Amino acid sequence: MSYVNTIRMFVRVYELSSMSAAARDQRTSPAVASARISELEKHLGVRLFNRTTRSLQPTENGRIFYDGAIRILEAIEDAESAVMDVTQNPRGTIFVAAPLGIGRRFIAPHVPTFKDLYPQIDVRLRLSDRGVDVVSEGIDVAFHQGILDDSTLKVRLIADCQRVLCAAPDYITRRGMPEDGAALLRDRHDCLNLRYPGAKEFQWTLITPDGPRRFEITGPYESDDGDVLTQWALAGRGIVMKPRFEVADHLRAGTLLPVAAATPPIPVQLSSLSQHRRLKDPKVRLFTDYMAAKIKEELRRATDGPDAPQDNATQDARTGDGAGV
């Protein structure tokens, strides 16, 4: 297995362009990573990387070997899957990423029960509203909330989630009830923005009588944490766009009220993303199937009730941004 582990190390060094990052990914030290790459180069009789103090770039031989190394690892994974009793003896570690709202409400509570069912599978869960790079960060499955651009990843649609614009009664008393998206701009309403480094110009895509339209909203408050935006909305600081499941309890209690009802937000897609070769891994498939079922169950429970939305949006309206979720 030492040669296989060396190949895995090479693949991660290649994908991350960093010896230290690959070492962290493989839970070892940079010295061990460097030694493995040197041993591999000696074994092959070629240089795989050009190294300087500031960069690490693959050579032409490195690029050729990477293509073959990927095929080797995929073949090993396929062989292991073929002989492994998937339902009785799945094992290993799964690296999972999710947005804060989805992760805290739907993923994290069910990780212990998944672990009880499959005690030899360990789950490493990362929660952040910032985007993740599934490939470079070594993520097995990432849960994504938003409108997906074209992707080379395997995308599995779990559910379409209704969204709502809402604000606290105190804010509405002070600033008035906006009837539609145009009123948000005309009356200069304070909109609470989900923004993070590298985010695009902020827009809300709302469904108008003429179809989906992007509104360039503004406001004095921004955060990269969606739950912070909810707290600001509850404090009467502005209008927030949220998936309905995240604010369903507040809507039922009346601590948040729907606004701009004439132009509701387009639904947001909730999906899982994986590299194609990772999805062949039995433990990744098991985890994804398990969590998809739990998420659908939780979504039904969270959105049942008197505040359940009118289905104004259709599949054809699913164009535009995934921001503000």
Report pLDDT for 319.
34
Average pLDDT over residues 255-259: 97
Angle at the Cα of 145 from the Cα atoms of 141 and 148, rounded to 5 degrees: 85
pLDDT tens digits along 14-52:
988 888 888 888 888 989 999 999 999 999 999 999 988
pLDDT at 294 over 70: yes
- Going along the chain from its start, the domains and CATH numbers come out as 2-83 (1.10.10.10), 92-160+269-303 (3.40.190.10), 163-267+313-317 (3.40.190.10)
Average the pLDDT over 262-289 and give the result. 85
Decide the pairing of beta strands 154-161 and 268-274. Answer: antiparallel
154: nearest Cα among 168, 171, 139, 173: 139
At residue 264 the predicted structure's pLDDT band, cuts being 50, 70 and 90, is very high
User: Is the pLDDT reported for residue 11 higher than 50?
Assistant: yes
Q: What is the residue-averaged pLDDT of the chain?
A: 83
Instruction: Report residue 3 as tokens.
Output: 């040669």
Q: Calculate mean pLDDT across residues 289-307.
A: 78
Banded model confidence at residue 303, pLDDT cuts 50, 70, 90: low
pLDDT of residue 148: 66
CA atoms of 221 and 241, how far apart (whole Å): 13
Query: Higher confidence at residue 80 or residue 141?
Result: 141
Contact 146, 258 (CB under 8 A): no
What is the 3-class SS of 42-57, one letter each residue?
HHHCCCCEEECCCCEE
Query: What's the confidence (pLDDT) of residue 325?
Result: 38
Q: For tokens 């070492």, what's the residue?
A: 23
Please report the pLDDT score of residue 250 as a whole number: 95
Give the residue, 196 or 130, on which the prediction is more confident: 130
pLDDT at 54: 78
The more confidently predicted of residues 308 and 109 is: 109
Residue 263, pLDDT above cutoff 60: yes
